[in-house]
């Protein structure tokens, strides 16, 4: 009991330490970038007075540790600052863009699961059969196609050649639900493709192991219909890894939709950060990295804490 | 309002001629005589390629004229048909000697929050622009300029030296006047809560998507604007905007590409064109220890091949042999042109350079944009052209936009991809005068300095024209900025859009939308 | 620790083969054979690409940076793969571009492998504080959004091949560290290690003599998969405009540039896409084959 509590406290401490390290690293990294936030703000014909005023205004005369402390203390009070370029509050801008990336990440995982579960289950049931072989081949092929290549190819086939889907851009759901969904199709497919591979393999492996187990064989012997065995008995038990991995994947994707957003010109957090790096809008980069790291670590820690509760087998096989 | 009227006739004449050729109805500000009676109501959608940063009037007049002017209006307007400055938000801006100017405002004009649009408001806005803390891109204009509110509707402006080109400042950087009450109240949020007295009010701004304006019912011009709503959309890729126009998603498209203009003309759309002064090109840093050598620079200018660049990257654009396009009234080829392509002579000059400096080879770095395919292609074409000179290595250094602009501003480059683009010739002063605020090339030619000073100090249009001709002749001969393409701003629209009053801007073409209506 | 979950994520193990019933065998034998063909193809393709990259200078190819006036020309006798937007020979650019892709893939992977294995083995052997510090480092690297890190790092240092290799190597270290550590732990209890300890062998000797050999097998199979990922990463970075700067030809750069004229000249995109596909496919196949050879338990 005590050791379990201590372990959880340790997890929390590690979490905080990691977040702190990530923010420090971001600061240092951005410091390395040549120039400073005011470079993108000053006009070409900036007068010396303007340059001096800018430096003072943005505290660039202060040493880096002082700037870090100023920033972290305002963050802890909930103030992420204002974007240098637009004057909008950083929190507002992220809140505006985050739903796009989140929607992409969740939908991608959902679509990937929707495809992988039937395929994985059936391949485990009939290994070496047609579905298994076709899906293995498709999996290898998709895995081999980088996301940006896949995205461009999908655009070429569906938007340029067949002209049934729009090329790029975003329409909020509130504005036009139909167009919103249309614009989601290609990006979500691109993202989901990579994850399908992972899910199918994982599920297939687990299912095949489960199908060998006694309770399944006994259910078979009792004459239960196949689908019921597959879905209710085998799948439920094999799905633990899938569920936890989905959580991890969502966490990863939230920070990882950058490429797809760039290809399809979607106003998500990924494009927000890239533009912010290019226009030296550091406060945005710092805030997004912080948020992504926190979400990722949070999801991982939660998953890690609950996993042994779900799957008794794992409790024994621990590596630490 | 006499002296400087004809000084810019060239621009207007050319565009007027082109407009006639394009066979469209530009309307003019009496509502378009040949197009029937203006209809009130409706919504016009206009698309541009980049998002605006801020609605702060100290910034947006320079940075995004097309989105700023519907909301704030402009103090003066340059009428491309009548070829003269016309009072817009202000009534008039006059001078006797070019040093002292009088800005007369209109009575009873109010901002949408009720604050009066008076001399105090103008002074407040201009003070704010001049304040270094604002970081306004229009601040450089205010150097050597003083102003005071003489009475409620009059502002007196005093300059250190006579400058008859000053009205351009009231069309550009100093044109947008916002409500002082609103600016003070908005604090840091001033860029998102604009309050102006222009023809339109801000309805909604969806960043990276569109800006929606609605009619300002208290706008001072009777009966205007005709439109109920104006929408400006941001659509990045050029071909996407064209498709949006074709599909009816937008009513008016903006473009800088000649091939788009030709396609649109062929498809029967109205095409309005504004020739712009300058362009993008190869800029030399004359203060650099290597680049200061005239022979080296001339050799490089002699292998520069704009025809090859345009054939590959900008098909349909003619090669460039002078700073100004053919037909410009200030162009006089006898006064100088860009050096002609001549590989043997270039090699000879370069070998001579090596002999003089005792080197056996030379490396010149070219700083350019990373991540924009068209510009990367130009850079690589330039490299292959330059390296035709044996012994010369032309190294490409691709950096991102912010770094490029900083390097340019700090003059930390040997050669750089640079540009000047404007509707007005007066911009040349800032770029090419040895003390010009935008002269990142450290170009100093006494003939050019004298000529450019004359363009500001003289109110005789013919004298001014000749001075410009002399200046651009020298600029072409010396080629501190060697451009590869003549730039035109274009607007395309279908026949149901009427009353488009064209405006040239520093990035292309735009319109004064209060005069537009839809059929 | 989050190890357990991540290992499941990364291992994505080859499906466990249950005790085969007679009628299942032929299908499995077929599958095994197909996998061998796939791996063989993979080996041949990678071999060709690497060979091309090394010998590019001596092959009878046009200068990849030579501009001609045949813009976006179709494949012809003179230009086997056609030309790009400013008239450069696509075939030659593909071959020279292979250099960048291979340098990044193999170079970055090697560096990541060396550092990662060293760290992982130390953590796995010494445990305790060393292990705690390592896992902190690993989690730290993983929590940082990789693409943002890469873009920022490349913008910070000058964009170039070396920067790219270093940056991608840093991202790859955690993978190797984890696998090395897990395998070190698994092997550290075995008799031959206990015997060596009893004989008084020093830790360094044990690590390098006894453990390294065993750890390297699964690490090598991971290396192949990581190479595939890095080929893609280089392409993605070029696509986002922060890859190897012009005029150096790179597959990702060609793809990004070709995208501009996708509707008019699709070949400019399809050709580099095909090369990406075949190369990544080959690395993956080889990785699968290697993993199959090494056995499942080693991927824990």
Q: Decide if C143 and A297 are in contact by the 8 Å CB cutoff.
A: yes
Residue of C nearest to B376 (CA): C246
| Residue among B379, B210, C158 at smallest CA distance from A33 | C158
Please tell me the pTM assigned to this model: 0.82
Which of C73, C86, C89, C268 would you mutate first to test chain B, the one with the most B CBs within 10 A?
C86
Query: Is the per-residue pLDDT at A161 higher than 50?
Result: yes
> Contacts of residue C148 in chain A, CB cutoff 8 Å?
255, 258, 273, 277, 285, 288-289, 292
| Residue among C144, B207, B201 at smallest CA distance from A295 | C144
Q: Residues C32-52: pLDDT tens digits?
A: 555 567 788 888 999 999 998
**Residue C285: predicted pLDDT:** 78
Nearest to C71 among B312, B397, B400 (CB): B312
Residues 6 or more apart whose CB falls under 8 angstroms from that of A187 comprise: A104, A151, A260, A261, A263, A264, A266
Residue of C nearest to A205 (CA): C15
Q: Decide if C5 and A245 are in contact by the 8 Å CB cutoff.
A: yes
Window A:52-81, CB contacts with C under 8 Å:
none
Secondary structure of A98-159 in the HEC alphabet? HHHHHHHHHHHHHHHHHHHHHHHHHHHHCCCCHHHHHHHHHHHHHHHCCHHHHHHHHHHHHH
Nearest to C240 among A129, A249, A262 (CB): A262
Residue of B nearest to C238 (CA): B371
> Contacts of residue B377 in chain C, CB cutoff 8 Å?
85-86, 257
Nearest to B383 among C155, C247, C259 (CB): C247
Residue of C nearest to B368 (CA): C246
- Specify the 3-state DSSP secondary structure of B215: strand
> Contacts of residue B408 in chain A, CB cutoff 8 Å?
44
> Contacts of residue C286 in chain A, CB cutoff 8 Å?
none
Confidence of residue A163 (pLDDT cuts 50, 70, 90): low
Nearest to C247 among B311, B374, B396 (CB): B396
| Alpha carbons within 13 A on the beta-carbon side of C265 | 23
Residue of B nearest to C87 (CA): B312
Q: Decide if B139 and A47 are in contact by the 8 Å CB cutoff.
A: yes
| Residue among C181, C188, C186, C220 at smallest CA distance from C203 | C188
Range in A61-65, A166-170, A195-199 with the lowest mean pLDDT: A166-170
**Shortest CA gap A169–chain B (Å):** 9
Nearest to B379 among C85, C241, C246 (CB): C246
Select the highest-mean-pLDDT range: A5-14, A28-37, B414-423: B414-423
Measured CA to CA, the distance from residue B252 to residue B271 in angstroms comes to 10
Contact B189, B481 (CB under 8 A): no
Map tokens 């002017």 to a residue.
Answer: B69
| Residue among B57, B43, B56, B62 at smallest CA distance from B210 | B43
**Residue A164: predicted pLDDT:** 63
Greatest Cα pair distance in chain B: 75
**Residue C262: predicted pLDDT:** 76
**Helix intervals (H) in C56-127:** 90-102, 109-126
Residue of A nearest to B53 (CA): A86
More confident residue, C123 or B70: B70
Provide the strand spans (E) within B32-167.
43-48, 76-79, 84-87, 90-95, 100-105, 145-151, 154-159
Q: Which helix (H) or strand (E) holds C292?
A: helix C267-294
Chain B interface includes C239 (CB < 8 A) = no
Residue of B nearest to A56 (CA): B133
End-to-end CA separation in angstroms for chain A: 17
Which of C158, C241, C255, C269 would you mutate first to test chain B, the one with the most B CBs within 10 A?
C241
Residues 6 or more apart whose CB falls under 8 angstroms from that of A163 comprise: none
Nearest to B400 among C69, C71, C155 (CB): C155
Contact C282, A154 (CB under 8 A): no
Confidence of residue B20 (pLDDT cuts 50, 70, 90): very low
Query: Is the per-residue pLDDT at C5 higher than 50?
Result: no
Q: What is the mean pLDDT of residues C254-283?
A: 84
Window B:427-456, CB contacts with A under 8 Å:
430, 437-438, 440
Angle, in degrees to the nearest 10, between helices A147-154 and C267-294 = 140
Measured CA to CA, the distance from residue B177 to residue B121 in angstroms comes to 7
| Average pLDDT taken over every residue of chain C | 78
Confidence of residue A165 (pLDDT cuts 50, 70, 90): low
Measured CA to CA, the distance from residue B368 to residue B377 in angstroms comes to 11
**Residue A248: predicted pLDDT:** 65
Take residue B195 and report the two structure tokens written for it: 């309050």
Measured CA to CA, the distance from residue B151 to residue C245 in angstroms comes to 59
Confidence of residue B331 (pLDDT cuts 50, 70, 90): very high
Q: What is the mean pLDDT of residues A158-167?
A: 65
**Helix intervals (H) in C127-201:** 128-143, 146-156, 161-188, 191-198
Q: Decide if B376 and C246 are in contact by the 8 Å CB cutoff.
A: yes
Q: Decide if C242 and B397 are in contact by the 8 Å CB cutoff.
A: no
Q: Bridge partners of B255?
A: B490
Q: Residues C126-154: pLDDT tens digits?
A: 888 888 888 888 888 888 888 788 888 88
Map tokens 């070190």 to a residue.
Answer: C184
- Specify the 3-state DSSP secondary structure of A176: coil
Measured CA to CA, the distance from residue B209 to residue B191 in angstroms comes to 17
Range in A86-95, B21-30, C215-224 with the lowest mean pLDDT: B21-30
Q: Residues B343-364: pLDDT tens digits?
A: 999 999 999 999 999 999 999 9
| Alpha carbons within 13 A on the beta-carbon side of B113 | 17
| Average pLDDT taken over every residue of chain A | 78
Take residue A1 and report the two structure tokens written for it: 């009991």
Q: Decide if A88 and B192 are in contact by the 8 Å CB cutoff.
A: yes
Q: Is B281 left (phi over 0), alpha (psi -120 to 50) or beta?
A: beta
Select the highest-mean-pLDDT range: A50-54, B156-160, B252-256, C32-36: B156-160
More confident residue, B441 or C63: B441
Measured CA to CA, the distance from residue B136 to residue B129 in angstroms comes to 6
Which of C22, C139, C235, C243 would you mutate first to test chain A, the one with the most A CBs within 10 A?
C139
Look up residue A213 and give its DSSP letter: S
Q: Decide if C235 and A149 are in contact by the 8 Å CB cutoff.
A: yes
Measured CA to CA, the distance from residue B56 to residue B54 in angstroms comes to 5
Query: Is the per-residue pLDDT at C21 higher than 70?
Result: no
Neighbours of B341 (CB within 10 A): 18
- Specify the 3-state DSSP secondary structure of C116: helix
Q: Decide if B191 and A87 are in contact by the 8 Å CB cutoff.
A: yes
Chain C interface includes A275 (CB < 8 A) = no
Ordered strands of the B43-48 beta sheet: B200-206, B210-215, B229-234, B43-48, B252-255, B488-493, B270-275
Q: Decide if B403 and A170 are in contact by the 8 Å CB cutoff.
A: no
Query: Is the per-residue pLDDT at C61 higher than 60?
Result: yes
Which of C3, C10, C22, C144 would you mutate first to test chain A, the one with the most A CBs within 10 A?
C144
Q: Decide if A300 and C5 are in contact by the 8 Å CB cutoff.
A: yes
The per-residue b/e assignment along B130-142, b for 16 or more CB within 10 angstroms, e otherwise, is bbbebbbbbbbbb
Contact A193, A135 (CB under 8 A): no
> Contacts of residue B403 in chain A, CB cutoff 8 Å?
34-35, 39
Show which subunits contact B, needing at least 3 CB pairs below 8 angstroms. Answer: A, C
Which of A34, A42, A45 would you mutate first to test chain B, the one with the most B CBs within 10 A?
A45
Query: Is the per-residue pLDDT at B3 higher than 50?
Result: no
Measured CA to CA, the distance from residue B395 to residue A275 in angstroms comes to 27
Window A:191-250, CB contacts with B under 8 Å:
none
Neighbours of B434 (CB within 10 A): 13
Neighbours of C119 (CB within 10 A): 22
Window A:150-209, CB contacts with C under 8 Å:
152-153, 155-156, 160, 197-198, 201-202, 204-205, 208-209
**Residue B467: predicted pLDDT:** 96
A/B interface, count of CB pairs below 8 Å: 88
Residues B445, B450, B455, B460: what is their CA dihedral angle, to the nearest 10 degrees?
A: -150
Which of A81, A83, A86 would you mutate first to test chain B, the one with the most B CBs within 10 A?
A86
Query: Is the per-residue pLDDT at B30 higher than 50?
Result: no
Take residue C88 and report the two structure tokens written for it: 């450069």
Chain C interface includes A213 (CB < 8 A) = no
Measured CA to CA, the distance from residue C71 to residue C92 in angstroms comes to 15
Q: Which helix (H) or strand (E) holds A32?
A: helix A2-32
Chain B interface includes C87 (CB < 8 A) = yes
| Residue among B472, B417, B473 at smallest CA distance from B440 | B417
**Residue A308: predicted pLDDT:** 63
Q: Residues B194-251: pLDDT tens digits?
A: 999 999 999 999 887 889 999 999 999 988 999 999 999 988 778 778 888 988 889 9
Q: What is the mean pLDDT of residues C23-34?
A: 46
Q: Residues C178-226: pLDDT tens digits?
A: 888 888 887 777 777 777 777 777 777 776 777 787 788 778 878 887 8
**Helix intervals (H) in B420-497:** 427-432, 446-457, 461-478
Q: Residues B106-131: pLDDT tens digits?
A: 999 999 999 999 999 999 999 999 99
């Amino acid at each position: 009991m005590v050791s379990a509590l201590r372990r959880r406290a340790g997890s929390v401490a590690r979490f905080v330490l990691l977040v702190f390290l990530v923010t420090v690293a971001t600061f240092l990294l951005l410091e390395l970038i040549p120039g400073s936030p005011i470079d993108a703000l000053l006009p070409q014909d900036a007068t010396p007075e303007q340059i001096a005023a800018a430096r003072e205004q943005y505290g660039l005369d202060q040493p880096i540790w002082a700037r870090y402390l100023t920033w972290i203390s305002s963050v802890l009070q909930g103030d992420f600052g204002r974007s240098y370029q637009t004057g909008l509050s950083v929190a507002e801008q992220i809140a505006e863009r985050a739903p796009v990336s989140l929607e992409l990440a969740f939908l991608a995982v959902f679509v990937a699961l929707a495809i992988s579960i039937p395929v994985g289950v059936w391949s485990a049931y009939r290994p070496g059969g047609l579905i298994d072989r076709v899906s293995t081949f498709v999996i290898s092929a998709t895995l081999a196609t980088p996301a940006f290549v896949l995205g461009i190819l999908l655009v070429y086939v569906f938007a340029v050649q067949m002209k049934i889907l729009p090329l790029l851009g975003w329409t909020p759901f509130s504005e036009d639900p139909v167009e919103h969904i249309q614009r989601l199709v290609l990006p979500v497919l691109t993202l989901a493709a990579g994850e399908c591979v992972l899910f199918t393999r994982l599920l297939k492996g687990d299912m095949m192991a489960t199908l060998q187990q006694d309770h399944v064989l006994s259910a078979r012997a009792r004459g239960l219909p196949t689908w019921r065995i597959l879905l209710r008995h085998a799948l439920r038990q094999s799905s633990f890894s899938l569920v936890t991995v989905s959580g991890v994947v969502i966490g990863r994707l939230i920070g990882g939709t950058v490429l797809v957003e760039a290809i399809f010109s979607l106003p998500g957090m990924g494009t927000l950060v890239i533009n912010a790096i290019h226009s030296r809008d550091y406060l945005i980069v710092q805030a997004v990295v912080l948020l992504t790291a926190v979400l990722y670590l949070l999801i991982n820690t939660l998953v890690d804490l609950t996993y042994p509760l779900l799957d008794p087998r794992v409790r024994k096989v621990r590596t630490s | 309002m006499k002296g400087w009227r004809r000084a810019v006739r060239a621009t207007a004449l050319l565009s007027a001629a082109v407009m006639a050729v394009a066979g469209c109805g530009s309307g003019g500000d009496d509502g378009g005589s040949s197009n029937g009676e203006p209809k009130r109501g409706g919504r016009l959608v206009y698309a541009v390629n980049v998002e605006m940063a801020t609605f702060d009037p100290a910034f947006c007049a320079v940075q995004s004229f097309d989105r700023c002017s519907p909301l704030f209006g402009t103090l003066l307007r340059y009428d491309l048909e009548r070829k003269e400055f016309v009072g817009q938000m202000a009534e008039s801006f006059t001078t006797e000697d070019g040093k002292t100017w009088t800005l007369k405002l209109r009575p009873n004009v109010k901002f949408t929050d009720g604050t009066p649009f008076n001399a105090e408001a103008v002074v407040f806005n201009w003070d704010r622009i001049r304040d270094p803390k604002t970081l306004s891109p229009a601040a450089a204009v205010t150097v050597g300029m003083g102003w005071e509110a003489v009475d409620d509707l009059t502002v007196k402006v005093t300059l250190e030296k006579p400058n008859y080109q000053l009205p351009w400042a009231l069309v550009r950087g100093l044109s947008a006047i916002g409500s002082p009450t609103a600016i003070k109240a908005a604090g840091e949020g001033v860029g998102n809560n604009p309050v102006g007295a222009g023809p339109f009010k801000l309805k909604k701004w969806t960043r990276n998507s569109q800006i929606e304006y609605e009619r300002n019912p208290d706008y001072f011009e009777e009966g205007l604007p005709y439109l109920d709503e104006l929408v400006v959309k941001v659509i990045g890729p050029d071909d996407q905007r064209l498709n949006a126009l074709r599909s009816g998603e937008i009513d008016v498209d903006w473009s800088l590409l000649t091939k788009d203009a030709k396609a649109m003309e062929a498809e029967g759309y109205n095409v309005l064109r504004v020739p712009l002064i300058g362009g993008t090109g190869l800029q030399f840093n004359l203060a650099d220890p290597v680049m200061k050598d005239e022979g080296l620079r001339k050799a490089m200018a002699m292998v520069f091949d704009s025809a090859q660049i345009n054939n590959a990257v900008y098909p349909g654009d003619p090669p460039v042999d002078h700073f100004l396009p053919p037909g410009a009234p200030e162009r006089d080829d006898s006064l100088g042109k860009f050096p002609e392509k001549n590989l043997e002579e270039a090699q000879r000059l370069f070998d001579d350079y090596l002999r003089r400096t005792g080197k056996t080879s030379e490396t010149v770095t070219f700083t350019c944009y990373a991540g924009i395919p068209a510009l990367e292609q130009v850079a690589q074409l330039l490299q292959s052209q330059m390296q035709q000179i044996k012994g010369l290595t032309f190294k490409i250094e691709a950096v991102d936009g912010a770094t490029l602009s900083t390097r340019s501003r700090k003059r930390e480059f040997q050669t750089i991809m640079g540009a000047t683009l404007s509707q007005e010739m007066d911009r040349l002063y800032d770029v090419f005068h040895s003390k010009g605020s935008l002269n990142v090339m450290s170009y100093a030619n006494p003939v050019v300095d004298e000529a450019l000073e004359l363009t500001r100090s003289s109110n005789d249009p013919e004298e001014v024209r000749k001075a410009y001709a002399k200046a651009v002749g020298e600029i072409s001969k010396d080629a501190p900025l060697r451009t590869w393409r003549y730039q035109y701003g274009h607007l395309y629209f279908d026949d149901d859009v009427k009353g488009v009053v064209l405006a040239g801007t520093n990035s292309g073409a735009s319109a004064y939308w209060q005069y537009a209506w839809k059929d | 620790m989050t190890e357990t979950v991540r290992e499941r994520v990364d291992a994505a193990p080859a499906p466990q083969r249950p005790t085969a019933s007679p009628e299942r065998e032929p299908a499995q034998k077929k599958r095994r054979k197909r996998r061998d063909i796939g791996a063989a193809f993979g080996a041949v393709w990678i071999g060709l690409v690497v060979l091309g990259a090394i010998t590019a200078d001596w092959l009878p190819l046009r200068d990849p940076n030579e501009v001609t006036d045949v813009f976006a020309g179709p494949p012809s006798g003179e230009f086997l793969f056609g030309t790009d937007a400013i008239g450069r020979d696509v075939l030659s650019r593909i071959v020279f571009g292979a250099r960048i892709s291979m340098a990044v893939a193999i170079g970055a992977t090697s560096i990541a492998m060396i550092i990662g294995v060293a760290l992982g083995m130390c953590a796995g052997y010494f445990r305790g504080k060393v292990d705690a510090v390592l896992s902190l480092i690993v989690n730290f690297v993983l929590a940082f959004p990789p693409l943002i890190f890469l873009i920022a790092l490349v913008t910070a240092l000058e964009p170039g091949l070396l920067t790219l290799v270093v940056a991608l190597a840093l991202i790859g270290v955690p993978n190797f560290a984890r696998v090395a550590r897990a395998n070190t732990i698994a092997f550290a209890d075995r008799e031959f290690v206990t015997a060596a300890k009893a004989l008084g062998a020093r830790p360094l000797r044990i690590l390098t003599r006894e453990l390294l050999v065993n750890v390297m097998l699964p690490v090598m199979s991971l290396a192949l998969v990581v190479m595939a990922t890095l080929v893609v990463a280089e392409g993605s970075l070029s696509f986002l405009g922060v890859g190897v700067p012009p005029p150096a030809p790179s597959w990702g750069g060609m793809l990004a540039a070709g995208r501009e004229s996708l509707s008019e000249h699709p070949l400019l995109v399809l050709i580099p896409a095909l090369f990406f596909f075949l190369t990544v496919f080959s690395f993956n196949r080889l990785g699968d084959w290697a993993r199959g050879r090494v056995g499942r338990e080693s991927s824990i």
